Amino acid sequence: MNIALVGYGSVGKGVAQVFLNKRDLLKQNFELSISLKGIFSSKGALIDPNGLNLESILGSKDLTVHPSWHQELSFLETIDDLDLDLVIEVTPTNIKDGEPGKSHIISSIKKGCDVVTANKGPLVVAFNELSQLAQKNESILRYEGSVGGGIPVFNLVRETLQGNSIHSLSGILNGTSNFILTQMTYERTSFESALKTAQELGYAEADPTADVEGFDAASKTVILANGLFGMNKGIDDVYIQGITKVTPEAIELAKTDNFVIKHICSIEDGQIEVAPRLIQKTSPLAVDGTLNVVSLKTDLAKEITIIGRGAGGEETASAILSDVVDIHLTRVS
């Protein structure tokens, strides 16, 4: 399978490392040989029509001195020259217009490639447009890594809950805000102090707005609403309340009744919400630290809850790899 990797940050590097580490397993278990033809960053690209040597790339600290490096060469300039089956799109999320990922995905689909992405931006602003374009061009578009990192939500429903109707969904989809609320609950700290700890530990960005104001969680909930419930929603359709106004006093009061305050995403009766909610301490939703959780209510299987790591290069690469393998198996069947 000839692949281009667009974006070589935390997730892109995780994907390259996993392709290298799992090379023998993929051949043995799925008869899948991956040839990475191009790796793209914002500054240029590594290109080799015969397949890039991942050992030398992953071992290299400065890609711009690698023999396969082309300064300022962009994916859109190159796509016509590369013989690609599949494109992995992992550039930064932009929920205003979905770029640059949206253009990368559209061009890939129009070129007849299958696409795997963990980039929330294009899916939040143009989910139905991209799905319909993929259908029209007989391309497969997969996005397991875009929600919940390594937690397999979409694949769980598609592959193991066939025939079930999903009535509702609730969950925690942002590890940073969950870490902050956990600190406030068990260390009895203020929001500001918990945020500082999260930043020191690398769980929160210098600008934590997207996490603590709920936009990141809302983006993921929109993708779930469109991808699992067949809705046609955007970020403006979500009722969003962040965690910045949660006080230590409210948390202490909740505790006296065996409740905790969690930042809960929910999809129910066509309504999408992200807001702090009181959750029973014994509920499967009451996961702590940076963990994510998704709970589905279905007609046949009833309630199903999955818990796991919602971020991380290797965790997200796991979701991307599962999409790549699934597309390979679909194409060879």
Ligand X SMILES: NC(=O)c1ccc[n+]([C@@H]2O[C@H](COP(=O)([O-])OP(=O)(O)OC[C@H]3O[C@@H](n4cnc5c(N)ncnc54)[C@H](OP(=O)(O)O)[C@@H]3O)[C@@H](O)[C@H]2O)c1
What are the backbone dihedrals phi and psi of residue 187, each rounded to the nearest 5 degrees, phi first? -100, -5
Query: Cα(first)–Cα(last) distance of the chain, in Å?
Result: 15
The single residue listed with the structure tokens 């890939």 is: 108
Question: Contact 161/135 with Cβ under 8 angstroms?
Answer: no
Q: b vs e for 68-79, b when ≥16 Cβ sit within 10 Å of the residue's Cβ? A: ebbeebbbeebb
Confirm or reject binding of residue 311 to ligand X (CB under 6 A): yes
Identify each DSSP E strand in the chain by its residue range. Answer: 2-6, 35-40, 44-47, 69-71, 86-89, 114-117, 141-142, 166-172, 238-240, 259-268, 271-280, 291-298, 303-309
Considering only the stretches 5-13, 53-61, 249-257, 276-284, report the one whose residues sit in contact with ligand X under the rule CB under 6 A: 5-13
The Cα–Cα gap between 260 and 187 comes to 13
The Cα–Cα gap between 277 and 259 comes to 10
Q: Please list every residue from 21 through 60 that binds ligand X, using CB under 6 A.
A: 40-43
Site pattern 176..215 for ligand X (x: CB under 6 A) = ----------------------------------------
220 catalytic residue (yes or no) = yes
Confirm or reject binding of residue 124 to ligand X (CB under 6 A): no
Confirm or reject binding of residue 10 to ligand X (CB under 6 A): yes
Confirm or reject binding of residue 172 to ligand X (CB under 6 A): no
Confirm or reject binding of residue 108 to ligand X (CB under 6 A): no
Confirm or reject binding of residue 171 to ligand X (CB under 6 A): no
Identify the active-site residue in 220, 245, 255, 302: 220
Confirm or reject binding of residue 122 to ligand X (CB under 6 A): no
SS (H, E, C) 140-185: CEECHHHCCCCCCHHHHHHHHCCCCCEEEEEEECCHHHHHHHHHHH
**Which residue in the set 38, 98, 149, 234 belongs to the binding site for ligand X (CB under 6 A)?**
149
**Which residue in the set 1, 79, 90, 264 belongs to the binding site for ligand X (CB under 6 A)?**
90
Considering only the stretches 8-16, 126-134, 194-202, 257-265, report the one whose residues sit in contact with ligand X under the rule CB under 6 A: 8-16
Confirm or reject binding of residue 91 to ligand X (CB under 6 A): yes
Size of the site for ligand X (CB under 6 A): 26
Q: Which residues are catalytic?
A: 220
Applying CB under 6 A, the residues found at the interface with ligand X are 6-12, 40-43, 75, 90-93, 100, 118-120, 145-146, 149, 311-312, 316
